């Protein structure tokens, strides 16, 4: 769709200090891709090669004074982009590098708020470089890293040579839960396939959904998954009384190289099968079975012996969070086993990351007036917590796809290509943000359908 | 003469046209009307004779790009500022630069000569610098917490306005050592500052699509809103009667004859125009010129409220700058394709 858009594409490069932004930038500038790139470098940037059009920017953020505190823009970018537009024949694309601690919000909002920028330039994509080794710490340390991940169209997981596969898989799963739309690239030394970061084209939601079909249905029948290495001999699963008289559990044998992220799909299938009802004292066999633990059958501590055929890795998917039942696994000496890795599912509230993605697909057409009202109200109240919205919509009585995106309280849409004859007319919408309530958003979106 | 990016018309005659290597960034007539200086976006400057269009001198300008031009009131010096962190002073009679005023690596976004004292003021990032006629730095001040966007000298007093995000600063330069400072706060980014020629009003185009102003010296503020975008240009007529503003395709005229026209309906100048890039009032005639992004030029007469000229495709590319000759009925235009031309209007 963007072949017809005469505006110059802009790629925004974010990522924590040391993640590899400058390395990536230098790769982009030296690689033969046939594009002339103007670079707006952050004030601490160090581009290692001679380049005709490199402009240094001091990140200067100011409020728009439109009654919205989160409506901030980058004043320096408005000036520099304005000047670059006068030499638009000198380059094909602009790349904006931000400082490590930058919130991508003001950069993105600049492309919505300033008419001159909006007329001449389009935000093609936000690329966030992630240091696989240190990102977990950065995620703990502050909001900036979480926002950089939430805003990304592409997440470049850099320095994968410094961590093992299980860590990378766990990291990818965690980032995926925060930002379900981003493409994820795993690289060393910032050796990115440039086609994956240039010409993202903003709106190709379908591609993002193809990459991650589960993204639209992130609700699982289990709240928790824990990966254990069970020793030979008998272990035991111990629970106490909890909020429910029963609890579903799936025990899935895995190899060391499997990822929890893929096993959850198998576990989901098992949860929909008939359960084997068991009472305390009954033996559980970890060979991909779905058990219903009848906890109320015995007061106090409940023991379920685990009898694996051999020592091995087993993932426990539990219907409720283990804390609610003080669930633990003890070895034959009564010593508690710690999960090698665990994950909390449901509502996207994984780990302590309050950032998540919520997406919907609806078959019925969307009423544009209702949608506008709903979004205006929603963004007025919750805009500060909503980092990005993207949507491809089937509007009532409209032969064209309608694509839109938003940043915080700002949103902007346009008619896209006509729906094809053999194409299913679906309305898809994705929110990425903080403290998103799936049920409320879903109900609000459904109210906009005709 | 060659007719490069310029089309002919019957209403105005093209006196001359000159081609720059790239788009026009700024234009400045010398106060005596002898020369027009044109700056290209990527830096170089041309000194053009107003009578013939001959390029009498070419200066390299600024590496990375020239941003602004300013003539000294006596027409003996031209100052340019640029992305190389410098302001440079040029002499129309010399090829070499006369002074280089260096002060850091920030873009020098504004440069302005005091109409009275020979003082040259530059603004780079958040820093305001005052230079004397010998090119010596007298003072460097950092009054603003964000980048200074514009400078405007009061027409009758040694009073300089500097605009930025959040506030307008006024500097009384009667004392060069310690200019007296006054702050006019406003909670948005102030982008373009213009004094009315009578020195009574200071107006400012803002990032939040409003026009904000102050009555001087009372400092009473006023505001006009309802614009569809931030203002691309502001221009006062000689009599300080009319303020013209441009936002997108619309040129609006505010009547200041009875004071700030708050709450009054302005006149919308009838186009047709594409998105307007620049406006210029003739210094003595009641003529307002507007140039748009697709090369359309419109000259409007305030006395009879009729078009003197509606000229679509006056330039093949879009307009960047308009500047009336200080005495003659001659309009210099600068285009994004590098065309610089002088249009001569009949009586």
Q: Supply the pLDDT for residue A347.
A: 38
Residue-averaged pLDDT of chain A: 83
Give residue A257's pLDDT band: very low, low, confident or very high (50, 70, 90).
low
Spatial distance between the Cα atoms of A169 and A163, rounded to a whole number of angstroms: 10
DSSP-assigned states of every residue in A164-197: -HHHHHHHHHHHHHH-SSSEEEE-STT---GGGT
pLDDT of residue B317 exceeding 70, the answer is yes
Query: Which residues, 6+ apart, have CB-to-CB distance to B60 below 8 Å?
Result: B43, B44, B45
pLDDT of residue A70 exceeding 80, the answer is no
Spatial distance between the Cα atoms of A433 and A355, rounded to a whole number of angstroms: 5
Mean pLDDT over A59-82 rounds to 81
Which chain B residues in 216-245 lie under 8 Å from chain A, judged by CB atoms? Answer: 228-230, 232
Task: Please give the ipTM for the structure prediction.
Answer: 0.90
Mean pLDDT over A395-424 rounds to 86
8 Å CB contact of B229 and A83: no
8 Å CB contact of B109 and A79: yes
Mean pLDDT over A21-50 rounds to 81
Q: Supply the pLDDT for residue B187.
A: 84
Nearest chain B residue to A61 by CA: give it. B146
Spatial distance between the Cα atoms of A429 and A410, rounded to a whole number of angstroms: 16
The Cα-based distances of A155 to A169, A183, B114 in angstroms read 14, 6, 52
- pLDDT tens, position by position, A216-235: 555 677 888 888 888 888 88
Top residue of B107, B185, B247 to mutate, by most chain A CBs within 10 Å, is: B107
Residue-averaged pLDDT of chain B: 92
Q: Within 10 Å of residue B282's Cβ, how many Cβ atoms?
A: 23
Query: Which residues, 6+ apart, have CB-to-CB distance to A214 below 8 Å?
Result: A265
* Residue B124 backbone dihedrals phi, psi, to 5 degrees: -130, 120
pLDDT > 90: what percent of chain A? 25
pLDDT of residue A433 exceeding 80, the answer is yes
Spatial distance between the Cα atoms of A276 and B302, rounded to a whole number of angstroms: 90
Q: Supply the pLDDT for residue A216.
A: 53
Mean pLDDT over A430-438 rounds to 87
A115-124, A265-274, A402-411: least confident range: A265-274
Spatial distance between the Cα atoms of B322 and B297, rounded to a whole number of angstroms: 10
Q: Are strands B250-255 and B306-311 parallel, antiparallel or unpaired?
A: unpaired
List the beta strands (DSSP E) in B207-318. Answer: 211-215, 220-224, 233-236, 242-247, 250-255, 267-269, 276-281, 287-292, 297-301, 306-311
| Residue in A66, A86, A119 closest to B208 by CB | A66
pLDDT of residue A245 exceeding 60, the answer is yes
- pLDDT tens, position by position, B203-262: 999 998 999 999 999 999 999 988 999 999 999 999 999 999 999 999 999 999 999 998
Distance from CA of A121 to the nearest CA of B (A): 16
Q: Supply the pLDDT for residue B130.
A: 94
Spatial distance between the Cα atoms of B237 and B224, rounded to a whole number of angstroms: 18
- pTM strictly above 0.90: no
Q: Supply the pLDDT for residue A214.
A: 46
8 Å CB contact of B41 and A66: no
Q: Is A56 on the interface with B (CB under 8 A)?
A: yes
Q: Coil, strand or helix: which one is A319?
A: coil
- pLDDT tens, position by position, A107-134: 999 988 888 999 999 888 899 999 998 8
User: Counting runs of H as helices and runs of E as strands, what totals does chain A give?
Assistant: 11, 24
Helices A260-271 & A165-178 angle (0-180, nearest 10): 60
* Residue B342 backbone dihedrals phi, psi, to 5 degrees: -115, 120
Render the burial of A219-243: b for 16+ CB within 10 Å, e for the rest. ebbbbbbbbbebeeeebbbbbebbe
Mean pLDDT over B315-334 rounds to 95
- pLDDT tens, position by position, B155-186: 999 999 999 998 999 999 887 777 889 999 88
Q: Supply the pLDDT for residue A206.
A: 56
Nearest chain B residue to A59 by CA: give it. B146
Q: Is A328 exposed, middle or buried (0-12, 13-18, 19+ CB in 10 A)?
A: middle
| Residue in B25, B107, B147 closest to A75 by CB | B147
- pLDDT tens, position by position, A357-384: 888 888 899 999 999 999 999 988 888 8
Q: Coil, strand or helix: which one is B46?
A: strand
| Residue in A55, A60, A116 closest to B146 by CB | A60
């Amino acid at each position: 769709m963007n072949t017809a858009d005469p505006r110059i594409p802009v790629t925004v490069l974010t990522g924590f200090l040391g993640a590899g932004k400058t390395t990536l930038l230098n790769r982009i500038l030296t690689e033969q891709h046939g594009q002339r790139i103007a670079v707006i470098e952050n004030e601490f940037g160090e581009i290692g090669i001679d380049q005709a059009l490199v402009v240094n920017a001091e990140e200067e953020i100011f409020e728009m004074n439109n009654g919205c505190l989160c409506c901030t823009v980058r004043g320096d970018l408005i000036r520099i982009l304005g000047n670059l537009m006068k030499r638009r024949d000198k380059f094909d694309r602009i790349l904006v590098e931000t400082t490590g601690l930058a919130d991508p919000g003001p950069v993105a909002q600049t492309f919505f708020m300033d008419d001159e920028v909006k007329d001449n330039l389009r935000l093609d994509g936000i690329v966030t470089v992630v240091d696989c080794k240190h990102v977990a710490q950065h995620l703990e340390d502050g909001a900036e890293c979480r926002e950089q991940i939430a805003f990304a169209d592409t997440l470049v997981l850099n320095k994968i040579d410094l961590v093992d596969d299980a860590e990378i898989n766990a990291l990818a799963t965690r980032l995926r839960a925060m930002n379900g739309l981003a493409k994820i690239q795993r690289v060393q030394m910032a050796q990115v396939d440039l086609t994956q970061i240039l010409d993202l084209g903003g709106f190709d939601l379908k591609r993002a959904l193809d990459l991650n079909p589960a993204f639209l249905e992130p609700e699982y029948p289990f709240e928790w998954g824990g990966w254990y290495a069970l020793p030979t001999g008998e272990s035991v699963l111990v629970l106490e009384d909890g909020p429910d008289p029963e609890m579903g559990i799936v025990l899935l044998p895995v190899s060391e190289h499997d990822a929890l992220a893929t096993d959850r799909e198998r576990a989901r299938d098992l949860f929909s099968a008939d359960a084997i009802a068991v009472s305390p004292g009954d033996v559980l066999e970890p060979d991909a079975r779905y058990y219903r633990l009848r906890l109320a059958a015995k007061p106090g501590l409940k023991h379920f012996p685990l009898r694996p055929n051999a020592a091995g890795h087993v993932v426990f998917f539990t219907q409720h969070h283990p804390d609610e039942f003080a669930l633990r696994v003890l070895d034959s000496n009564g010593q508690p086993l710690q999960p090698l890795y665990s994950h909390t599912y449901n509502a996207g509230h994984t780990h302590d990351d309050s950032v998540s993605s919520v997406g919907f697909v609806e078959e019925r057409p969307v009423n544009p007036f209702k949608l506008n009202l709903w979004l205006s109200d929603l963004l007025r109240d919750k805009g500060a917590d909503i980092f990005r919205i993207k949507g491809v919509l089937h509007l009532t009585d409209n032969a064209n796809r309608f694509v839109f995106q938003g940043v915080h309280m700002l949103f902007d849409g346009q008619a896209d290509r006509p729906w094809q004859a053999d194409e299913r007319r679906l309305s898809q919408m994705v929110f990425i943000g903080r403290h998103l309530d799936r049920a409320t958003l879903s109900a609000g979106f459904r109210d906009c359908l005709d | 003469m060659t007719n490069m990016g310029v089309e002919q018309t019957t209403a105005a005659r093209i006196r001359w046209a000159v081609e720059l290597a790239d788009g026009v960034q700024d234009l400045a007539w010398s106060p005596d009307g002898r020369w027009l200086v044109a700056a290209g976006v990527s830096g170089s400057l041309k000194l053009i004779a107003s009578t013939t269009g001959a390029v009498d001198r070419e200066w390299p300008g600024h590496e990375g790009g020239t941003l602004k031009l300013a003539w000294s009131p006596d027409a003996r010096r031209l100052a340019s500022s640029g992305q190389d962190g410098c302001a440079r002073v040029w002499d129309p009679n010399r090829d070499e630069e006369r002074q280089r005023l260096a002060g850091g690596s920030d873009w020098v976004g504004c440069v302005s000569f005091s109409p009275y004292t020979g003082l040259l003021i530059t603004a780079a990032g958040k820093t305001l610098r005052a230079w004397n006629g010998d090119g010596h730095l007298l003072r460097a001040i950092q009054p603003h917490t964000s980048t200074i966007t514009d400078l405007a000298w009061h027409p009758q007093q040694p009073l300089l306005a500097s605009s930025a995000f959040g506030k307008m600063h006024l500097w009384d330069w009667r004392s060069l050592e310690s200019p007296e400072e006054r702050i006019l706060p406003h909670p948005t980014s102030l982008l373009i500052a213009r004094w009315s020629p009578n020195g009574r009003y200071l107006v400012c185009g803002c990032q939040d699509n409003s026009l904000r102003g102050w009555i001087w010296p009372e400092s009473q503020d006023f505001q006009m809103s309802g614009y569809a975008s931030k203002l691309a240009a502001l221009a006062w007529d000689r009599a300080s009667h009319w303020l013209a503003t441009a936002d997108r395709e619309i040129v609006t005229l505010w009547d200041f004859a009875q004071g700030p026209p708050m709450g009054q309906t302005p006149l919308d100048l009838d186009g047709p125009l594409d998105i307007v890039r620049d406006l210029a009032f003739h210094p003595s005639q009641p003529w307002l010129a507007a140039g748009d992004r697709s090369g359309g030029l419109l000259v409007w007469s305030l006395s009879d409220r009729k078009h003197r000229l509606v000229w679509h495709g006056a330039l093949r590319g879009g307009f960047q700058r308009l500047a009336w000759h200080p005495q003659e009925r001659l309009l210099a235009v600068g285009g994004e394709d590098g065309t610089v031309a002088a249009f001569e209007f009949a009586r």
